Structure 1
């Protein structure tokens, strides 16, 4: 991986986050504006970046095999991260009421908001496609293992299955069906999808910048004694383990690079929303999301530099 390209991408992401933080000072960032941002990103921008990747990658039998491979590997990596977070939280915070949250924050990354746009810049349409498939594995893990851990009755019911059906998942399935039957959309549609896909990175970074400005110092201090665990696990330990896994499996270079970058992503942006849905501690989710995103601006180039030296 070209470290210069990575650093330039991180600098651009940082500037976008700063713009978002400045924008939050011009109007009140409340639940309504938060919902609008999330809705546009999740239901419009993310599906379009997925479809754009599929439209610009030549699909064949080997590509479909690699897609299944990346999806299964994503679930394995996410589950391993959650398991590692659970183990460490049980060791360091045996009697804590936040063990479930700490475990999920340790394993589930922001592979959609940041990961897909970053991989699109670094590795082109093919990288963006595999990044989208990896993100689909994250979504699958969130609404299966994650939902099962957070809900009180511990049942995997129809509502859990229904919550797994979202626009990015529909875009992946629909796009792959179109690609499988070699259906070529009109140029007008492709051009529209490409332009809407360009919204993903700026809107996601603006959202994170606004989220940064909503943090209260008292809440940060209150949760600060625990968030080191998911930060360390998600930003350092899990990427190191994934790098060792890539050495062992030796997949194609683009796949290996994409999976490595996705494993380095900070905690998922929707953590606080997920926790609120299941009456868990949404404050620790929001604080970990913001802090991990800020720290990731430094750790991603460092981890990629180390991977370039010792792995790739």
Structure 2
């Protein structure tokens, strides 16, 4: 992995976030604005980056095996991250009130908005495909383990299963199905998916910038900056990547180097952008969730390249 590519990608992400902040200063920020960005990113740009990656990669039996490995390890890694956050929150009396929020913020990362575009920039189409599969694992954990924790109910339901059906997941299924039956769509469709895929990174970073600006102006959010906020941030940005490295090192199977890189990069992602929306839905502290997401995103601009540099130096990536 070229260090220059890593730092260029992180620098571009930072610059696009700054543009998002600037846009927020001249454009009214409301729920309609956020909803428009989210719809474009989740329902247009993200599916296209997934399809574009699938059409650019020659998927064989070995890659299908790798896809299965990434999906399983994604579920395992994210669930372990939630467990780490739960332990951290339970260890300090001041954190127990926010135990559920801290647990989810510690384990669930922004693997879609930031992770997939970053892996595409650093690792190419194959990396983007594995990153999308990892993100599908995050969705599985969100709507099963995550919802159970937020509802204090530990039983599966049809509603949770239905929540797993979204356009990015459908894009993965359709793309892989096309590969199975050896069908290649018309070139105009492939060109369209390639061009719309290019929107994913800018739109996602602009949205993060808007979120940062909107929360920085929220005085009640700023008041939550205390010891509680640093527990999930430290767990997500530092502890989970190290745990992921340990998991990779003890696995009894030999994995493709590309898989190792994707798993480590996705484990480094800041806390889930949609956390505050989830917390609102289940009557949890959405202000804490939003501010933790913003703070972890800003800090991750330093921790991601730093961890990648360390892992490359010791030949883990």
User: What range describes the TM-score normalised by the shorter chain of this pair?
Assistant: over 0.9
Q: Does 1:233 align with 2:244?
A: no
Task: Give CA-to-partner distance per residue, 1:70-92, whole Å, 9 cap, x none.
Answer: 00000000000000100110001
* Cα distance in 2, alignment partners of residues 95 and 231 from structure 1: 13
Structure 1 residue 254, shift from structure 2 partner: 0.7
Q: TM-score, normalised by structure 1?
A: 0.97
- On the 8 A contact 1:243/1:307 being kept in 2, the answer is no
* Cα distance in 2, alignment partners of residues 280 and 174 from structure 1: 35
Q: Does 1:289 align with 2:302?
A: no
Task: Give CA-to-partner distance per residue, 1:86-118, whole Å, 9 cap, x none.
Answer: 011000136732100100000000000000000
Q: Does 1:309 align with 2:316?
A: no
Q: How many residues align?
A: 312
- On the 8 A contact 1:110/1:265 being kept in 2, the answer is yes
Tell me the equivalent position of 1:150.
150
Query: Which stretch has the larger CA shift, 276-285 or 118-127?
Result: 276-285
- On the 8 A contact 1:42/1:168 being kept in 2, the answer is yes
Q: Does 1:194 align with 2:198?
A: no
- On the 8 A contact 2:95/2:228 being kept in 1, the answer is no
- On the 8 A contact 2:276/2:290 being kept in 1, the answer is yes
Instruction: Give the alignment of 1:108-127 within 5 angstroms.
Output: 108-127=108-127
Tell me the equivalent position of 2:70.
70
* Cα distance in 1, alignment partners of residues 211 and 236 from structure 2: 20
Structure 1 residue 180, shift from structure 2 partner: 1.1
- On the 8 A contact 2:47/2:171 being kept in 1, the answer is yes
Q: Does 1:221 align with 2:223?
A: yes
Tell me the equivalent position of 2:36.
36
* Cα distance in 1, alignment partners of residues 29 and 92 from structure 2: 35
Instruction: Give the alignment of 1:55-94 within 5 angstroms.
Output: 55-93=55-93
* Cα distance in 2, alignment partners of residues 298 and 164 from structure 1: 32
Query: Which stretch has the larger CA shift, 25-34 or 98-107?
Result: 25-34
Q: 1:259 aligns with which of 239, 247, 263?
A: 263
Structure 1 residue 281, shift from structure 2 partner: 1.0
* Cα distance in 1, alignment partners of residues 44 and 94 from structure 2: 42
Structure 1 residue 47, shift from structure 2 partner: 0.5
Tell me the equivalent position of 1:300.
304
Runs of 5+ in structure 1 lacking a partner? none
Structure 1 residue 223, shift from structure 2 partner: 4.3
Query: Which stretch has the larger CA shift, 10-19 or 237-246?
Result: 237-246
Query: Which stretch has the larger CA shift, 213-222 or 139-148?
Result: 213-222
* Cα distance in 2, alignment partners of residues 173 and 223 from structure 1: 41
Q: TM-score, normalised by structure 2?
A: 0.96
Structure 1 residue 280, shift from structure 2 partner: 1.2
Structure 1 residue 155, shift from structure 2 partner: 3.8
Structure 1 residue 248, shift from structure 2 partner: 2.6
* Cα distance in 2, alignment partners of residues 224 and 192 from structure 1: 46
Query: Which stretch has the larger CA shift, 151-160 or 172-181?
Result: 151-160
